[in-house]
Amino acid sequence: VLHDALVTAAILDLVPRETALIAVGKRGHRPSCAQKDIDALLVGLARDGYRVVRLKVGDPSVFGRSGEEIAACAAAGVAVEVVPGITAASAAAADLKMSLTHRDHARRLEIVTGHARDGDLPADLDFRALADPAATVVVYMGKARLGAYAARVLAAGASPGLPVLAIENAGRAGTRTVSGTLGAPPDLGGLGDGPVLIVTGAVLGTRPRSVSAAVHPCATPPR
């Protein structure tokens, strides 16, 4: 099992004892395994006759580099099966008890990365599209570039009052959130070193103040 750094001990404890666990995690701005080395491990172990699991957090098909790893295996003639996961944007929506789309506020969902190969904010993002008030935008790996992102979206025409929320550890224990606007981005100083998503959009205004456990009248059988 080749696992990422964010896979919890509780999950790794489910792996049979006779199975080798190999940590191949990649964390921003920290010592990490090179992608080419991960690809080589996957192919080499499979060719040696092992059944190899590449264990990731979230959905490997969303900013999980699964495309590069699948391509490396395909080039080496190694058969691959992909098990879908739950991407962090969906986990965040569940934690926040809100929908990422809304008939009145968000007719489009944009999922982008805030981290280019050089570690900076990607210069080729369509900031005019990201400034669309009818869109919900979720920025992965954008914690370190929130200020730069807000400045570019504002310059593209977004409203300074557009809500912004940063959520740490979406879908995991220890979830924390801080709120702000594009004009006054949330202070991330109180967050820890867990993965952070940045969510922007008018749909954030639909979040309930509290959610009752009572059964809604529409769900009550007629008398």
Note if 4 is an active site residue: yes
Residue 107 is encoded by which pair of tokens? 């007719």
Those residues with Cβ within 8 angstroms of residue 166's Cβ, 6 or more apart along the chain or in another chain: 143, 146, 177, 178, 179, 186, 188, 191, 196, 197, 198, 199
Residue 209 is encoded by which pair of tokens? 């103040």
CA gap 98, 190 in Å, rounded = 23
Active-site residue among 4, 39, 59, 132?
4
Note if 126 is an active site residue: no
Those residues with Cβ within 8 angstroms of residue 65's Cβ, 6 or more apart along the chain or in another chain: 26, 35
As annotated, the active-site residues are 4, 26
